[in-house]
Amino acid sequence: MGNKALMVIDIQNDITKNYKKIIDRINEAIDWAVAEDMRIIYIKHNNLSAGTRTFKPDTKGAELVPEMRVVSDNIFVKTKANALTSEEFTEFIEKNGINEFFIAGADATGCVKSTCFNMTKAGYSVHVISDCVTSYDLKKMDEMYAYYAKKGCEVKVLKDYMEGR
C-alpha cells in the first residue's frame, strides 16, 4: 500500500438527502482507489451535543449508508468537524505514512471544509473530488470549491483523477 488514501467523510444515514446524488460516484471512487492500491478510510461523525437528534452514537442515523461500498475496516469516529481531532485516525495515518488524501463526503460547508483546511495546514497533500462531495446547501458548492483551492487543495472531478489529468 502506498502513502495515498481515499477518505470518505460522514456519508451516514443522518446526512443530507443530497448524498443520493453522489453515492454512485463515491462507490466508483472507492473502486478506483482500491485499483490504485490506496487505503480506503471512512470517517463517521458522532454528535455528543445535548439536545441534538442527529448522528447520535449507536443509532441507525450514525451508521454508514447502506448504498455505500465498505471495503475496509478503516472506520474512524470523530466528534468535531475536523477529522484530525480523532486520535485513532491520526495514529492510523502516522503509523501507515499516509500523506496524500483524496476527499469525498459531506458536508462541504462543515466537516469536509474543516478537515481539508486542517489537513493542508498540517502539510498533507489534499485533493477534493468535486463530484463526490455534497452539502445541505447545494447553492454553496461553487463557493466551497473556490475555498478549497484557495486553502491549497487540488479540486477536480473523479474522471480527471481516474485518467491521471
Span 38-84, pLDDT tens digits: 999 999 998 888 777 888 888 898 999 999 999 999 999 999 999 99
Q: In angstroms, how far is CA 6 from the centroid of its own chain? A: 8
Please tell me the predicted confidence (pLDDT) of residue 51. 78
Interatomic CA distance for residues 75 and 104, integer angstroms: 14
Cα Dmax for the chain? 46
pLDDT at residue 2 in the model: 59
| pTM (predicted TM-score) | 0.94
pLDDT of residue 58: 87
Rounded to the nearest 5°, which phi and psi values hold at 58? 60, 30
Domain annotation for the chain: domains and CATH numbers:
4-164 (3.40.50.850)
Report the pLDDT value the prediction gives residue 164, as an integer from 0 to 100.
86
